[in-house]
Structure 1
Amino acid sequence: MDAPRIDKWLWAARFFKTRGLAQDAIDGGHVHINGDRPKPARTVKLGDRIRVRNQSGEYEIVVEGLSDRRGPATEARTLYRETEESLVKREREAELKALAPQFDHPDVKGRPTKKLRRQIDRFNRD
């Protein structure tokens, strides 16, 4: 198989839901191959070290398989191996996020109700 483009590979490895999102992330500087900022048409080779930052965190991975076809998640996981440092860092960040205080009110979804607005006004007056 020919070496796939980085945007197709990221899509096939399920780091991004669409190729368009993968291209936007590459253009935005959220993807690095061997320390360099690539263009979306850059090809991926076995052994490349890729750093990807997406909505679920930052990954440091090593390419272990090539594909430009999006398949099942189990197949996508065989395309790369995450480094130990990246795995530890993501777990630590997830733990810190879980321990962070939540400031959301459980009853507030969108605009405040009339009752909640009156409570807010009463709180602000005192």
Structure 2
Amino acid sequence: MKQASHEAALEVRADIWLWAARMYKTRSLCKQAIDGGKVDVNGAGCKPSKALHVGDRVRLTRGEERLELEILALSELRGPASVAQMLYRETEESRLAREQIREERRLSGAGLNRPPTRPNKQERRELRRLKDFP
């Protein structure tokens, strides 16, 4: 059993830090992301047990979102979001790239091709015929 110490941790496992920093919802999701190659530490891949230190750079992917973070503090405990945000700082390049991708997605309509108008009676009948066809 671990003993509680009042000293700041010098290193923390990668999966625990990602969970404490609220990058993923559960530790098992952190482990899956690391094993899947979605997390890099200091430009190299890592394992869930990799020791993270203050000043390390973490690059991770969550869905379509890519983040590059600098570790400012270490924690083994998952606290409120306001405390978790104090554990890292997102790089300026990462933030600008995310905002640019978000804007491009918004302008493109997120890939939805909507018809210009609602279908009329004849088009609705044709759609029904197509859908009922086995």
TM-score normalised to structure 1 length: 0.82
Once the two structures are superposed, what CA deviation does each residue of 1:45-101 show, in whole Å capped at 9, x if it has no partner? Answer: 000000010136110010000001100000000000000000000000111111123
Once the two structures are superposed, the pairs formed by residues 68-79 of structure 1 within 5 Å of their partners are 68-79=76-87
RMSD: 2.1
Partner of 2:42: 34
* 2:51 is equivalent to residue 50 of structure 1: no
- Name the larger-Rg structure: 2
Matched pairs, number:
113
Kept after mapping to 1: 8 A contact 2:10/2:53: no
**For the structure 1 residues 119 and 28, does the alpha-carbon distance in structure 2 shift closer, same or farther, using more than 3 Å as the test?**
same
**Residue type at the aligned position of 2:101:** E
| DSSP 3-state at the match of 2:12 | coil
Partner of 1:103: 113
Residue 119 of structure 1 and its aligned partner are, at CA, apart by 2.0
Once the two structures are superposed, the pairs formed by residues 1-126 of structure 1 within 5 Å of their partners are 1-55=9-63, 57-101=65-109, 102-103=112-113, 118-119=126-127, 121=129
| DSSP 3-state at the match of 2:40 | strand
| DSSP 3-state at the match of 2:78 | coil
In the alignment, the residues of structure 1 paired with residue 125 and residue 18 of structure 2 have an alpha-carbon distance, to the nearest angstrom, of: 46
Query: Percent of aligned positions with the same letter in both sequences?
Result: 42
- Structure 1 unpaired stretches of 5+: 106-115
Ranges of 4+ aligned residues in structure 1 off by more than 6 Å: none
TM-score normalised to structure 2 length: 0.77
In the alignment, the residues of structure 2 paired with residue 79 and residue 11 of structure 1 have an alpha-carbon distance, to the nearest angstrom, of: 11
In the alignment, the residues of structure 2 paired with residue 104 and residue 66 of structure 1 have an alpha-carbon distance, to the nearest angstrom, of: 47
